[in-house]
Structure 1
Amino acid sequence: MRCGEKCFVVEMEANGKSHTKQLNARTPAEARKKIRKQTGEQTKIISVLKK
């Protein structure tokens, strides 16, 4: 874990299915960027919430 990271809960829709994933990031924008790198550019991100 890097300095200043917080836990975020990301709700997304990939391959027509809804998913929820937790990850550590410094900002909500960084959390979105990490999700898109892991799942692909076509993933629709519904919400990013701080846990």
Structure 2
Amino acid sequence: MICGSKCFLVEVALNGEKQIKRVRARTPVSARKVIRRKYGYEVVILSSVEEKK
């Protein structure tokens, strides 16, 4: 876990269906990077929003 990280909800399209993944990152851009590294660069990312508590 990185200092200053937050929880982001990233909406992705995997295998033709929309899914919401929870990612720990500092910024929305780095949350998208985590998703791309995990699922590949062909994944379509629809949105990334900070999770509100």
TM-score by length of 2: 0.90
- Find the aligned partners of 2:36 and 2:23 in 1 and give their Cα distance: 12
RMSD across aligned positions (CA):
0.7
Structure 1 spans left out of the alignment, 5+ residues: none
- Find the aligned partners of 1:46 and 1:14 in 2 and give their Cα distance: 11
Q: In the alignment, which residue of structure 2 is the partner of 1:25? A: 25
How much has 1:15 moved relative to structure 2? 1.4
TM-score by length of 1: 0.93
Q: In the alignment, which residue of structure 2 is the partner of 1:11? A: 11
Q: Which runs of 4+ in 1 moved over 6 A?
A: none
What SS is found at the alignment partner of 1:41?
coil
Q: In the alignment, which residue of structure 2 is the partner of 1:35? A: 35
What SS is found at the alignment partner of 1:38?
helix
Structure 2 spans left out of the alignment, 5+ residues: none
Equivalenced residues, count: 51
